[in-house]
Amino acid sequence: MGRAVASASSCGIGVASTRAPDIKDAVAKLKAALVGDFQQIVAFFSVDYDAAQLAVELSNAFEGVEINGCSTSGGIGPSGIMESGVLLIAFPRAGFRIHTGVIEDVTAFGVERAGEIVRDLKARMGLQHCDQLAERVFGVMLVDGLSNAEETLVAAVHWAFGGMQLIGGSAGDGLAFRQTSLIHQGRVLTRSAILMMIESDYPFRIFQTSNFEPTQIKLVVTAADTEGRTVQELNAEPAAREYAAAIGLLPDELGPFSFASYPLVVKVGGDYYPRSIRNMNADGSLSFFCAIDEGLVFTVARPKDMLSSTERALEDLDRALGGIDIVLGFDCVLRRLDAENRQIRRQMEDLYRTYGVVGFHTYGEQLNSMHLNQTLTGVAFGARRGSG
């Protein structure tokens, strides 16, 4: 029990995971499993590990390698979906250039600091003409999933990025919704974000896929705490009761699985985007993963076949890249719950293994200027070395 499972990609990215409960033992197994000359390790870990001790043990074990990461609501590793454990994704020194920065206290200073951090990263990488380098450079952001600041932060970072694309995930803590953690160079951070700028010699594609379609049922937010992302009333009725009636359930039947199966979406431009429910509160209000406001019109959505829609997206990436080497994915925890509810978790694991998908289950996904829910968002690398 607790052995490390590892995989390697043609572009040199190493992946190792373990469910060993003891931190020292887990890190020792991970170090033995990862073979290569790495410059950056991204760690995804469940909240049953002490983040401070894990940060120290990883820094000691991988001396000279920068380590960043966050707590999760589960991982996706070589062995499949992990509800607990530690997953390491290690970028080699050859073929990649990576610089990182930290935005602390994102609620108060996120927008102001975002521009400063991005400018600093561009300078450190010598990227004076980023628009011309969009095919070689992209950003990854890990952010506290309970900060309620993702929308403003991701918009500010994407604006500062210019022509480069941005992806990322919101850190989780299982489904406790108490406190998430980020680690950076041996430190533990909360209410913060880690921003990585990655230049790749290998071809890559940024992508997003989801599996839902809108119905004709509309729910209007008529009373809300916007700062707390909590809706008290929908259609001038108690929020939980009105949502439950819209999907054919009683309020006491609501929970993570029903929220996953019947997301609420909003129309932006010509497309629909989920604004997923996080939890029902004792007073009958509903808390959300994304920003909400009074007057917002929700549409109740119904899911399509997650397995086939995800497979189509990965097949398209495979064709575009001439073969997928590895995928770094940010997969909403509600997608995992929905897969479990529909008893397709094993098939999803097989699909992820087939295409080399690794990453973590999030409280939200970032794509360019948007903070999303109930999507799989990420970057797929091809095995062919890109042209200089």
- Do residues 286 and 315 both lie within one domain? no
Instruction: State whether residue 128 is helix, strand or coil.
Output: coil
Answer yes or no: do 119 and 175 share one domain: yes
Task: Report yes or no: 171 and 144 within 8 Å, Cβ to Cβ.
Answer: yes
Calpha distance 254→312 (Å, rounded): 31
The verdict on 277 and 184 lying in the same domain is no
Domain boundary among 261, 285, 303: 303
Q: What is the mean pLDDT of residues 95-110?
A: 90
Give yes or no: residues 95 and 226 share one domain.
Answer: no
Share of the chain above pLDDT 70, in %: 97
In our burial notation (b when 16+ CB lie closer than 10 A, e otherwise), range 321-349 reads beebbbbbbbbbbbbbbbbbebebbeebb
The last residue of one of the domains, among 277, 303, 329, is 303
Q: Kindly state whether residues 376 and 276 are assigned to the same domain.
A: no
CA distance 330 to 333: 9
Check whether 132 has a pLDDT greater than 70: no
Place of tokens 């043609």: 10
CATH of the domain at 260: 2.40.30
Per-residue pLDDT band at 252 (split at 50, 70, 90): very high
Mean pLDDT confidence for 367-373: 93
220 and 321 in a single domain? The answer is no
Rounded Cα distance between 263 and 277, Å, is 7
CB 14 within 8 A of CB 6: yes
Query: Of 20, 194, 169, 166, nearest to 99 (Cα)?
Result: 194
Q: What would the mean pLDDT of 272-293 be, rounded to a whole number?
A: 94
If asked whether residues 121 and 234 sit together in one domain, one would say no
Percent of the chain with pLDDT over 90: 85
Query: What confidence score (pLDDT) does residue 269 get?
Result: 83
Mean pLDDT of 211-233: 95
Question: What is the count of structural domains for the chain?
Answer: 2
Q: Angle, to 10 degrees, between the axis of helix 345-354 and the axis of helix 333-341?
A: 130
Q: Which residue has the tokens 């004792």?
A: 282
Q: Is there a single domain that holds both residue 64 and residue 188?
A: yes
Please give the Cα distance from 79 to 89 (Å, whole number).
Answer: 14
- Give the pLDDT confidence score for residue 129 in this predicted structure: 59
Residue 205: pLDDT over 50: yes
- pLDDT-based confidence at 268, cuts 50/70/90? confident
What does the alpha-carbon distance between residue 101 and residue 91 come to, in Å, rounded to a whole number? 17
**Residues 57-79, mean pLDDT to the nearest whole number:** 97
Q: Which of 200-204, 235-239, 299-303 has the lowest mean pLDDT?
A: 299-303
Instruction: Tell me the mean pLDDT in the region 209-224.
Output: 95
Q: Is 140 helix (H, G, I), strand (E, B) or coil?
A: strand
Q: What is the dihedral of CA 63, 66, 72, 76, to 10 degrees?
A: -80
Average pLDDT of the residues in 256-277: 90
Q: How many CB atoms lie within 10 A of CB 271?
A: 8
The answer to whether residues 294 and 308 belong to one domain is no
Residues 165 and 262 in one domain: no
Which pLDDT value is given to residue 16? Answer: 97
Report the 10 Å Cβ neighbour count for 90: 25
Q: What is the mean pLDDT of the chain?
A: 93
Q: Which domain holds residue 349?
A: 1-210+304-388
Q: Are 54 and 153 in a shared domain?
A: yes
- Place 128 in a pLDDT band, splitting at 50, 70 and 90: low
364 pLDDT exceeds 70? yes
Identify the CA nearest to 217 among candidates 235, 241, 238. 235
pLDDT recorded at residue 387: 44
Could you tell me which of 371, 369, 173 has the C-alpha nearest to residue 279?
Answer: 173
pLDDT of residue 385: 62
Are residue 80 and residue 32 in the same domain, yes or no?
yes
DSSP 71: E
pLDDT for 388 equals 40
DSSP lists the bridge partners of residue 101 as 195
The conformation of residue 251, written as its DSSP 8-state character, comes to: G
User: Which ranges in the chain belong to alpha helices (H)?
Assistant: 23-33, 51-61, 106-125, 150-161, 239-247, 256-261, 306-321, 333-341, 345-354
How far apart (Å, rounded) are the C-alpha atoms in residues 204 and 324? Answer: 9
User: Where among 303, 320, 340 does a domain terminate?
Assistant: 303
Q: Is 10 helix (H, G, I), strand (E, B) or coil?
A: coil
